[in-house]
Amino acid sequence: MTDETTPAASCCCGAEHATRTGTPGALSRRRAIGLGAVAGLAVPVLAACSSDDSGSASAESTAESGQVLGKASDVPVGSGVIYSDAGVVVTQPTKGQYEGFSAICTHQGCPVSQISADGIVCTCHGSVFDVSTGDVLEGPAPSPLDSVDITVKDGEVTIA
Ligand code: FES
């Protein structure tokens, strides 16, 4: 890769983050998708950053045990659904296997906002998480998404 990382770029959230530089043609597919996502979600992302001047955009999970999230049939195989109100992501990595994760990014607390072919994406700073495990596939997130216990019964996904 020809991308280089340089420190200390100021962010809209007040923190300083490493940024990547390089030739435009050197953008990876994943990075290009992330940039497209940022463009498409510019208003919500900016709103999240501008609403908190403490240096950390934050969101909290409001998931409660027994809370019905939605229909299992709405969760696509190989992808997932972000239940923003509950702060939970439900994925179905393989047919019939459901996983639950916190929708709160472990970098600075932004809610993840999209699930692409690459994984669960936090468009605040471009972290990508694995749909099967919640592991970090691309930083700056330092750790995996927290697991959320879910159950699937009678076609409904519920917080365990
Ligand atoms: S909060 Fe920075 S990548 Fe998610």
pLDDT band at 156 (very low <50, low <70, confident <90, very high): very high
Which tokens belong to 112? 């993840």
Which amino acids bring their CB within 6 angstroms of ligand 1? 105, 107-108, 110, 122, 124-127, 140-141
pLDDT band at 65 (very low <50, low <70, confident <90, very high): confident
Statement: residue 63 has pLDDT above 50: yes
Q: Which atom of ligand 1 is nearest to the CA of 105?
A: 4
Contacts 24+ apart (CB under 8 A), 138-143: 138/30, 139/107, 140/17, 140/18, 140/107, 141/105, 141/106, 141/107, 142/106, 142/107, 143/106
> Considering the entire predicted model, what is its pTM?
0.65
Q: Which atom of ligand 1 is nearest to the CA of 125?
A: 3
Domain positions in the chain are 4-50, 68-159
Q: Say which residues have a Cβ less than 8 Å from residue 11's Cβ, sequence separation at least 6.
A: 17, 49, 125
Q: What is the mean pLDDT of residues 62-74?
A: 89
What percent of the chain lies above the pLDDT cut of 90?
Answer: 59
- Residue 60: what pLDDT? 55
Q: Which CATH number is 68-159 given?
A: 2.102.10.10
Give tens-digit pLDDT for 10-57.
444 444 444 333 333 333 333 333 333 333 333 333 323 333 333 333
Give tens-digit pLDDT for 117-147.
999 999 999 999 999 999 999 999 999 999 9
Residue 56 CA to ligand 1 centre (angstroms): 9
